[in-house]
């Protein structure tokens, strides 16, 4: 736990000095404008909730891929990884702490989106089930932390993993239904959506904003958290394997 | 014994993939070495000799291929968890630091990885920063530091766990002369505090100045382990003459090699008689300040290894 907290603290120190890393926040207005102008001009008030959710969740994912998942490759880049391996403390709680610190900031896009909607378009969506909404957001942040650890560990495997990650983002936006609800997607893509926690998040949050009662809240939250735990465990195992292999081979990448 | 290494080998494989299958490169080829507690031990050798590989194995970040290595009584493979809290590592250069942390934050971060309680870490961080002359820059970002200051942050980082054994891998590469002198003083202090020090270097003068004993390694093998003075005696019958002159002595029988540094000519001769002849030759031509000098570690090194791999 101490190592985790030290990771959190260190990442806050790093971010404070690196405001350019918060560039993700600057891309959000564009998504907000795009989504809301489409919805407003099409006169589809039923889709307003969707237009608010997209920038929020894309912002969360953006923080994860832009900042959280690069903590390990970043340390490899500056040659801090072998120094960490030589230290008595284990590395995964430290990196998990650093990732968590970033993802706590992942809530900021939510506020930013609401604010921009009000300022630019004069709309704020109704949230009919605020508790469900916030529970879904919290579960999503947790799942994003787990997923980021997995992505961060995977990124060690390649030398130019940033390219893969950028490539990954758009399919994730589509499959997770943050842009367009999953039920509008071609049938064969749905199973893929089911294993992406963001699709559960988007669905549940959309329902939480609608007036109709939300069904199966517990199960759906569990799905988000469960997928997050799975990613967390997988990330931890992959990191351990990668570090063990580095100790055997003397190299961290494999491609 | 702080370090006990027996028949240590390490090979790397080239190639890609999770398990590379390419050509094998031998970095250590049956190395045996003992470093008693509280000794300052130098590892000298050309580029590619295997010095860094040995340091990595001793610091438990790399596994041996065969043979054994014990650090502070624990095996590097099975006892890594016991070794790690008790050793410090300083790998040369400026890399490995976060530019966006201050010197103090850097030490606090690493103190946590060395599992030092926060209250202790706070005090120790302050002490180390003061000791390494970083006190008034403690809260500046590391990225604003000069190369020499970054190296001092590295030194402080390596000492944050209050290690019994410190491994230095080329710590003075690129250090300016003043910093290098401070570094030698620091090594002396660390020894006085009872720590053991293993230091790899290219710099013979440095090894001669700080080391109790040095080990010469080449191609992953030990050529000799001796005190710097003892090692110097290994250069056989060769004798050296130094003089402030620009005269050409290469024609004199028995002159093996000449070299001029800072206006001082240094002549290597086959034996006493040849050295005598060079002395006479120079004195006859009115050259003042002519001396027969003892061999330097560098001379022995060149005798045993040659000029290969001296470039940094
Ligand atoms: N990760 C690695 N993969 C393949 N070969 C390596 C690796 N690290 C070192 N080597 C090789 O092992 C030999 C010893 O290297 P090293 O231990 O770095 O020597 P030194 O520090 O004395 O210069 C060299 O031939 C080097 O090329
Ligand atoms: Mg080296």
Local structure of residue A47 (DSSP, 8 states):
G
Provide the shortest C-alpha distance from residue A156 to chain B (in Å).
12
- CA separation for the pair A202, A181 (Å, rounded): 8
Distance separating the N- and C-terminal Cα atoms of chain B: 31
Mean pLDDT of A227-246: 95
Question: Quick one: B3-232 is in which CATH superfamily?
Answer: P-loop containing nucleotide triphosphate hydrolases (3.40.50.300)
Segments of chain B with pLDDT less than 50: 311-312
Taking the CA atoms of residue B102, residue B104, residue B110 and residue B114 in that order, the dihedral angle to the nearest 10 degrees is -170
**Model pLDDT for residues A117-156, shown as the tens digit of each residue:** 889 888 888 899 999 999 999 999 999 999 999 999 998 8
A248/B98 Cβ within 8 A: no
ipTM, two decimals, is: 0.89
Ligand 1 centroid to Cα of residue B27, in Å, is: 6
Q: Atom of ligand 1 at shortest distance to CA of B46?
A: 22
Mean pLDDT of A177-205: 86
Instruction: Give the rounded distance of the alpha carbon of A15 from its chain centre.
Output: 17
Instruction: Select the residue from A83, A97, A154, A248 to test the B interface by mutation, using most B Cβ atoms within 10 A.
Output: A83
**Model pLDDT for residues A42-70, shown as the tens digit of each residue:** 888 778 888 888 888 888 888 888 888 88
> Contact B3/B213 with Cβ under 8 angstroms?
no
> Contact A103/A139 with Cβ under 8 angstroms?
no
Q: Kindly tell me if the per-residue pLDDT of A29 is higher than 70.
A: yes
Q: For residue A194, what pLDDT band results from cuts at 50, 70 and 90? A: confident
Domain boundaries of chain A, sorted by first residue: 2-249
B141/A14 Cβ within 8 A: no
CA neighbor of A152 nearest in space, from A254, A251, A67, A253 = A67
Please enumerate residues of A whose Cβ is less than 8 A from a Cβ of B. Answer: 2-3, 6, 10, 13-14, 17-18, 78-80, 82-89, 94, 245-250, 254-255
Q: Would you state the structure tokens that stand for residue A115, as one six-digit string?
A: 């604010």
Instruction: Count Cβ atoms within 10 A of the Cβ of residue A253 and give its class: 0-12 exposed, 13-18 middle, 19 or more buried.
Output: middle
Question: Given this model, what pLDDT does residue B311 score?
Answer: 47
- CA separation for the pair A158, A253 (Å, rounded): 6
- CATH 3.30.70 is right for the domain spanning B239-294: yes
Domain boundaries of chain B, sorted by first residue: 3-232, 239-294
**Model pLDDT for residues A72-120, shown as the tens digit of each residue:** 988 988 889 999 999 999 999 999 999 999 998 888 889 889 899 889 8
Question: Given this model, what pLDDT does residue B112 score?
Answer: 96
Pairing relationship of beta strands B40-44 and B213-218 according to DSSP bridges:
parallel
In sequence order, the 6+-apart residues with CB closer than 8 A to the CB of B291 are B241, B242, B243
Ligand 2 centroid to Cα of residue B243, in Å, is: 35
- CA separation for the pair A197, B240 (Å, rounded): 76
- Among A14, A83, A246, beta carbon nearest to B89: A83
- CA separation for the pair A198, A106 (Å, rounded): 14
Exposure pattern of B216-241 as b/e (b: 16+ CB <10 Å)? bbbebbbbebbebeebbeebeebbbb
Round the average pLDDT of chain A to a whole number and report it.
Answer: 88
Question: Given this model, what pLDDT does residue B312 score?
Answer: 41
For residue B31, report the phi and psi dihedrals to the nearest 5 degrees: -100, 135
Angle at B196 between CA B191 and CA B201, to 5 degrees: 90
Question: Given this model, what pLDDT does residue A124 score?
Answer: 86
From atom 6 of ligand 1, which residue's Cα is the shortest distance away? B12
From atom 24 of ligand 1, which residue's Cα is the shortest distance away? B48
> Contact B5/B165 with Cβ under 8 angstroms?
no
């Amino acid at each position: 736990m101490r190592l985790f907290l030290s990771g959190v603290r260190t990442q806050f120190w790093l971010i404070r000095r690196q405001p350019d890393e918060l560039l993700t926040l600057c891309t959000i207005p564009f998504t907000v404008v795009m989504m809301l102008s489409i919805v407003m001009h099409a006169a589809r008030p039923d889709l307003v909730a969707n237009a608010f959710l997209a920038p929020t969740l894309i912002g969360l994912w953006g923080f994860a891929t832009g900042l959280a998942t690069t903590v390990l490759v970043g340390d490899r880049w500056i040659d801090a990884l072998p120094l960490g391996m030589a230290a008595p403390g284990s590395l995964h709680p430290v990196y998990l702490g650093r990732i968590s610190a970033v993802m706590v900031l992942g809530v900021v896009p939510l506020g930013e989106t609401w604010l921009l909607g009000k300022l630019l378009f004069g709309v704020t969506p109704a949230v009919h089930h605020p508790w469900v909404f916030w529970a879904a957001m919290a579960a999503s942040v947790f799942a994003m932390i787990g997923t980021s650890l997995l992505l961060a560990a995977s990124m060690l495997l390649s030398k130019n993993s940033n390219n893969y990650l950028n490539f990954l983002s758009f399919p994730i936006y589509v499959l997770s239904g943050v842009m367009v609800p999953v039920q509008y997607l071609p049938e064969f893509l749905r199973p893929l959506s089911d294993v992406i926690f963001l699709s559960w998040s988007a669905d549940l949050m959309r329902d939480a904003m609608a007036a109709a009662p939300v069904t199966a809240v517990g199960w759906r939250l569990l799905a988000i958290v469960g997928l997050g735990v799975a990613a967390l465990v997988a990330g931890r195992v992959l990191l351990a394997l990668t570090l063990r292999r580095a100790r055997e081979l003397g190299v961290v990448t494999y491609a | 014994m702080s370090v006990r290494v027996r028949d240590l080998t390490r090979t790397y494989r080239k190639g890609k993939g999770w398990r590379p299958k390419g050509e094998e490169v031998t970095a250590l080829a049956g190395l045996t070495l003992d470093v008693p507690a509280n000794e300052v031990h130098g590892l000298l050798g050309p580029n590619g000799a295997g010095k860094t590989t040995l340091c990595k194995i001793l610091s438990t970040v790399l596994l041996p291929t065969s043979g054994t290595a014990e650090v502070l009584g624990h095996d590097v493979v099975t006892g890594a968890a016991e070794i790690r809290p008790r050793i410090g590592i300083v790998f040369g250069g400026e890399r490995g630091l976060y530019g966006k942390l201050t010197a103090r934050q850097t030490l606090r971060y690493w103190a946590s990885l060395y599992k030092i309680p926060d209250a202790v870490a706070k005090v120790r961080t302050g002490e180390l920063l003061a000791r390494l002359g970083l006190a008034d820059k403690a809260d500046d970002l590391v990225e604003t530091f000069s190369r020499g200051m970054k190296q001092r942050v590295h030194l402080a980082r390596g000492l944050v766990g209050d290690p019994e054994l410190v491994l230095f891998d080329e710590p003075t590469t690129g250090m300016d002369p003043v910093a290098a002198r401070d570094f030698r003083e620091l090594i002396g202090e660390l020894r006085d505090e009872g720590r053991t020090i293993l230091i790899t270097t290219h710099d013979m003068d440095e090894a001669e100045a700080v080391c109790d004993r040095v080990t010469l390694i080449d191609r992953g093998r030990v050529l000799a382990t001796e005190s710097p003075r003892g090692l110097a005696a290994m250069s056989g019958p060769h004798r050296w003459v130094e003089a402030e002159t620009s005269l050409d002595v290469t024609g004199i029988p028995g002159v093996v090699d000449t070299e001029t540094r800072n206006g001082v000519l240094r002549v290597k001769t086959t034996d006493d008689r040849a050295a005598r002849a060079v002395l006479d030759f120079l004195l006859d031509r009115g050259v003042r300040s002519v001396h027969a000098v003892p061999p330097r570690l560098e001379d022995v090194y060149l005798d045993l290894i040659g000029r290969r791999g001296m470039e940094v």
